[in-house]
Structure formats: structure tokens, C-alpha cells
Structure 1
Amino acid sequence: MQPHGPGTTAAPRMRVTGLLLLVAHLLIVGWLTLRPRTVPWVPAPNLRPLATIRAELVHGLSWEAVQHLGGPVLLLAPLGVLLPLSAGRLNVSPLVSLTRTVFAGAMIALAIELLQSGIPGRVPDVDSVLLNTLGVALVHLAVVPGARCALRRRYEEPRGATPRIPRVGVARQTDALSGGRTYL
């Protein structure tokens, strides 16, 4: 195992596993979201933030609304764990890690929506970007800080008890301050 100080990375196996899982997840997401669909009609693109979410919640929180809004939240949610895992850093500020992960998740969601604008049957929706980013942030906050803490404890070298210095006897004052000795 590698040492884990500031700026060092976790074990290479963990990083490679994270990269492989990240690539596999992105391939599946790409296959799900970028395939052309044959539909009889296509709604207009939504470029107004929160319009789709409001429209789903107009009649209250129903099972259908949860399914329509939960899908985009769950689509990119694994990135909240896979992005930090593929980076392999254990000693990172939680705020910096969250910021990096959420920004990367938002950029991936935005790229998917921009690519969808050129695919038949697919319509870009700005609310999908917001919900995808929300899913990445929630999973990151729920899993990564605790997992990093557990991994730091696991890879940290065990420290024994604090070493104690045996008590040193105090010299007599006459010996310590006597001017009769010469040391040359």
C-alpha cells in the first residue's frame, strides 16, 4: 500500500476499479439517453428552469410524479461516488471534494442534454440537468465522507501509546551550581 499523506492517492487497485466502474456507468447512461426514439410527436424543449418540476408537482406528490422526477435524480447519482473513487484521494477537504464532484456531474449532465438536441426523438430539458446534479450531490454527501473516514482509519498506520520519558532524578543544588569543577 502507498503512504497516505496530504496529496497522495489511495491504492492503485481502488483507483483502477473506480475508473472501470465510472466508464461502465457512463457507457450505460450514454446508451440509455442518446439512442434515437421513434415517437409520434416530440414536446418542445424546456429551457426554463424548474418548469418541468412545477408541472409534475401541480397535482401534488403522486407516484407518477415521483417516477418522472426520480429517474433523472437516479440516472447520474452513482457519479457522486464513482468520481471521487476514481480520483483515489483520501485526504481532501470535504467541501473541495463536493464542489469538484458536483461540478463534474453538472458538466456531464449538460453534455448529455446538449448531445440529445441533435438526436431524433430526444428533447433537451434544463430540469434534467438540475435533477441529475442534485442526485450526484445527494449521493456524494451520503456516502463519500463516511467512506473516506473509514478508509483513512483502515490505511492509517496504527499508533501505539504515547511514549513516556522515565523520571529523571534532580541533581543536588550544590553539585549543579558548584564552581569548583573545571571541564577543560
Structure 2
Amino acid sequence: MQRQGFIVGTAAIRIRVTGGLLLAAYLALVAWFTLRPLDVPWVMPANLRPFDGIRAGFALGWVEGLRRVGEGLALLAPLGVLLPLAGGRLVVSRLGSLIRTMAATALVSLAVEMLQTAVPGQVVDVDSLLLNTVGAGLAHAAVVPAGRTRLCRRAMPGSVTAVFPEEPAQGRTPTIARVGIAPWSDALPPSSP
């Protein structure tokens, strides 16, 4: 039985479980990589202005700027694929899926940035949040629609109803007769003579 575009059957369970496990493992790796204390002699101040860190990287040279942008884009890019995989939805709006994935990635990135405030040697950078979100969006746009299309073609060679049969009719929705308002004589306590 299909509900709102979710994959059905044992394959669906395997896909969701695999996606969930890969997502958990990747988030653990990201936490280890971004939240471990660094041994540095001094720390740069936090960057709370959008694009200042990117400009500073390119001020050091094109190679350094591209390296920093590439790192920012790549850090949470796998979430663009792992989040929809763990969700298990096969038939969804492409734009809606992209927006949900980017919003979830932005929240994960924000959580990482906020947790970094308590870690020695790590600095909050708003550009990281922007680049992480864009990277996940790019990975999602590049992989997920094509993967869903392939899964749909593979799962539904004949027709949609062959794999996702419509739900059986449940019959008419029961209705309840309207209850009228009792006359005042029924609502008042009986008067004694």
C-alpha cells in the first residue's frame, strides 16, 4: 500500500534502514571532524557577516579561496542524498524535496556552528552555513531526481497501479444525524406544586 509517495514493501524498509544508518554514520563523522578541539596558538574571530570569509580566502589567492569554498560545499553535500534516502519517498515534488533537504541541511549546519562555540580552536563562520546548504542542494539536484526516476522505472515497468495499487474502497463515510436543541421545557428542572 502506498501512502503519499512512500516506497512500499521490504525493499522500502531496506532502503530506509540503509539510508538511516548511513546518515547516522555520516553525521557522526561530521561531528568528529568539526567538533574536535584544535591545538592552535591563536584563533581568528568569529565571522558573522555573509561572504566575508569567502572574500578573505580569495584575498589570500585563488587557490586558497577555491579550496575554502570547495571544503564548505563538500562538508555536508552527502546530506543532499542521504536525507531523501532515509525518508524513503519515491514520488514527491522535486522542488519540495530540494527545499526540505536544504532546510534540514541548514539546520544541521547551524547546530554544528553553534556547538563549535564551545570547542577550543573552532570558530563560528556564517559562510560555512551558506556553503554547506548550497553544497547539499547541488548534490541533491544532481543525484536524487535521477535516482528516483530510475527507481520508479525499475519498480513500475508496466504501470503505476501494478506496484502501487489503489487503496480499497472503504465505503461511504458514516454521517451522524443532527441533534436538535431541546425545548426549554425539557432543559428546566421540573417545578414542584
**Pair in the same fold by TM > 0.5:** yes
Q: Are 1:111 and 2:111 counterparts? A: yes
- The residue number in structure 2 matching 1:55 is 56
Aligned to 1:156: 156
Letter in 1 for 2:5: G
Contact 1:4 1:155 in 2 (8 A): no
Structure 1: unaligned runs, 5 residues or longer: 160-184
Match of 2:187 in 1: none
Helix, strand or coil for the counterpart of 1:101? helix
In structure 2, how many angstroms separate the alpha carbons of the residues matched to 1:81 and 1:90?
Answer: 13
Unaligned runs of 5+ residues in structure 2 are 160-193
* CA–CA distance in structure 2, aligned partners of residues 70 and 99 of structure 1: 22
- Letter aligned with residue 156 of structure 2: E
Q: Percent identity?
A: 53
Q: Would you say how many aligned residue pairs link Structure 1 and Structure 2? A: 156
RMSD in angstroms over aligned alpha carbons?
1.5
C-alpha separation between the residues in 1 aligned to 2:18 and 2:82? Answer: 9
Q: Deviations over 1:8-48 (max 9, x none)?
A: 33511011100000000000000000001110000000000
Distance in 2 between residues matched to 1:8 and 1:111, nearest whole Å: 28
Following TM superposition, by how much is the alpha carbon of 1:156 offset from its aligned partner in structure 2, in angstroms? 1.1
Q: Which residue of 2 aligns with 1:8?
A: 6
Higher CA-based Rg: 1
The answer as to 2:37 corresponding to 1:39 is no
Which string of whole-angstrom CA distances, capped at 9 and with x for unpartnered residues, describes residues 32-73 of structure 1?
00001110000000000110111222366x222211221111
Equivalent positions of 1:131-170 (< 5 A) are 131-159=131-159
How big is the shift at 1:7?
3.2
TM-score normalised per structure 2: 0.77
* TM-score for both structures, normalised by structure 1: 0.80
Distance 1:43 1:63 in 2: 20
CA distance in 2, matches of 1:9, 1:154: 12
State the distance in 2 between where 1:100 and 1:121 align. 32
| Counterpart in the other structure of 1:24 | 25
Q: Is the Cα–Cα contact under 8 Å of residues 58 and 64 in structure 2 kept in the other structure?
A: no
Asked if 1 retains the 8 angstrom alpha-carbon contact of 2:58 and 2:66, the reply is no
Which one-letter code corresponds to 1:24 in the other structure? A
The structural deviation recorded for 1:157 is 4.7
Alpha-carbon separation, structure 2, partners of 1:53 and 1:68: 7
Q: Which residue of 2 aligns with 1:68?
A: 68
Q: Which amino acid aligns with 1:50?
A: F
Q: Which runs of 4+ in 1 moved over 3 A?
A: 3-7
